[in-house]
Amino acid sequence: MSSQAADGRVERHKLVDRIYHWVMAISILTLMATAFLPILGWKFEWLEIHWITGLVLTLAVLFHIIRSLFFQKIMNMVPDGKDISAPLARPGKYSMAQKLYHAAVAVLILCGIGSGLLMLRHIDTPFWKRDPYWFTDHGWGVVYSLHDFAAMALITMVMIHVYFALRPDEWHLTRSMLRGWMTRKEYGDHYDPSRWKPSQD
Amino acid sequence: MELFRYATSVYGDREIIGGSFDLIQYFVALGVAVILVHAIFKWVLPSNNNSAH
């Protein structure tokens, strides 16, 4: 479907990007459930599901980084002068709030992934036997603390994200992450055409 | 309120082993607070279609 379809729709997210988003979302929710439900009292064998899902998330994020850097316009997600001088004006593809949110979540997820990959060395996997001496006790404490705080902060971020996704005034965005498009009217109402031209994404 | 979890190593040292899960409630509360502030802000102020969100 072209970005300027005659049926009054504007393409916002290609299929591959929507698939990435939902793989990431399901991975994050699975990781959070396997992390926190046992802490809250629901005991089950969580560790294997957790680290395997962590590897799925790692691969998905790696895909996203490569795609966004080399196949998309990375500057769409970077605050520009107009975002700073007029943060509430009609934005480009992403608003200032969305850009800041993305930056915060990216830092937290990368922190969780980085520390999580190091923590793989602390458990038995099909690839290796655990090595508890890879770090000192203090070193493991730092790694686990980074992982724990990133995970808890992601609770806050996921709550905020789901709230915005469910707001009726944001349904055009939620639909665009499911179907890939928004109406031309929604595009005209919410975005500055000089800052985001879908045909040039 | 502790920020970290601790354990005693085989050498008798008190070591950090991770973040304190007692903090989960504060992260949930922060999420609720942001949601409430935004919801009230949007309800009180008149809507403006010519702006972001």
State the ipTM, two decimals: 0.89
**Does residue A115 belong to the interface with chain B, where contact is any CB pair within 8 Å?**
no
How confident is the model at residue A41, as a pLDDT?
A: 96
What gap in Å lies between CA A156 and CA A143, rounded to an integer?
21
Mutation target vs B (from A36, A99, A160, A182; most B CBs, 10 A cutoff): A160
What gap in Å lies between CA B23 and CA B19, rounded to an integer?
8
Residue A26 C-alpha, separation from nearest chain B C-alpha, in angstroms: 20
Instruction: Indicate the pLDDT class of residue B1, thresholds 50, 70 and 90.
Output: confident
Read off the pTM: 0.92
- From first to last of the 201 residues of chain A, give the pLDDT tens digit: 444 455 699 999 999 999 999 999 999 999 999 999 999 999 999 999 999 999 999 999 999 999 999 999 999 999 999 999 998 899 999 999 999 999 999 999 999 999 999 999 999 999 999 999 999 999 999 999 999 999 999 999 999 999 999 999 999 999 999 999 999 999 999 999 999 998 656
How confident is the model at residue A74, as a pLDDT?
A: 92
8 Å CB contact of B35 and A159: yes
Instruction: Indicate the pLDDT class of residue B43, thresholds 50, 70 and 90.
Output: very high
Residue B50 above 80 pLDDT?
A: no
Question: Which member of A87, A89, A189 has the closest CB to residue B49?
Answer: A189
How confident is the model at residue A198, as a pLDDT?
A: 87
Residue B1 C-alpha, separation from nearest chain A C-alpha, in angstroms: 15
Question: Which member of B13, B17, B30 has the closest CB to residue A156?
Answer: B30
What gap in Å lies between CA A108 and CA A114, rounded to an integer?
10
